[in-house]
Each structure stands twice: as structure tokens, then as C-alpha cells.
Amino acid sequence: MNILELTGMKSTKYGGVESYFAELVKICRVDKFIFVYESMPISENYVNDINKCGGG
């Protein structure tokens, strides 16, 4: 299943929301997650964690 998450926010750090999203993508591997922010997240670690687990 494709899951689109419209956050309506900017991602300025690898904080609580980002950690939750990263863990969700790791746990639910059969689903494809797409997270939409107002701009590209600042944390490269966050972007890499999401991408390596199949999110986008």
C-alpha cells in the first residue's frame, strides 16, 4: 500500500517526529511511505534512513 503523509511543516532536525517516521518505515516494510515537507529535510541522516528502508 502507498501511504502519503502531508506533514505541513519543515524538518529542521532529526527530532521526535522524524524518529517516529523512520521507525514506522522500518517496521512496516510492506508499505511504501511518502513524506511531504514544505522543503527538503535538513538532516541527511534522516533522509538516508528513510530512503534505505524504502520510504521517500
SS (H, E, C) 24-42: HHHHCCCCEEEEECCCCCC
**Entry pTM:** 0.86
* Grid cell listed for 35: 513524506
Would you say residue 55 has pLDDT above 80? Answer: no
CA proximity to 28, closest of 10, 43, 50: 50
In angstroms, the CA 47 to CA 13 distance is 11
The average pLDDT across 2-19 equals 95
Domain count, the chain: 1
Amino acid at position 47, single letter: V
pLDDT digits (tens, 9 = 90+) for 20-43: 999 999 999 888 999 999 999 999
Give the residue numbers spanning the domain of 11: 2-52
The average pLDDT across 4-32 equals 94
